[in-house]
Amino acid sequence: MLLRAITTSFQELRTVNGQVCATYREACQELNLLENDAHWDTSLADASATASPQQIRTLFAIILTTCFPSNPKDLWEKYKDYTSEDILHHLHAMNQNLDI
Question: pLDDT truncated to tens, each residue of the chain (100 aa)?
Answer: 556 556 678 888 899 999 999 998 889 888 888 778 899 999 999 999 999 999 999 999 999 999 989 889 999 999 999 998 887 777 777 887 666 5
- Contact 42/78 with Cβ under 8 angstroms? no
What is the domain range of residue 12?
1-34
User: Are 14 and 29 in the same domain?
Assistant: yes
Classify 11 as helix, strand or coil: helix
User: Are 40 and 88 in the same domain?
Assistant: yes
Write the secondary structure of 51-86 as one string of H (helix), E (strand) and C (coil): CCHHHHHHHHHHHHHHHCCCCHHHHHHHHHHHHCHH
User: Are 30 and 49 in the same domain?
Assistant: no
pTM over cut 0.85: no
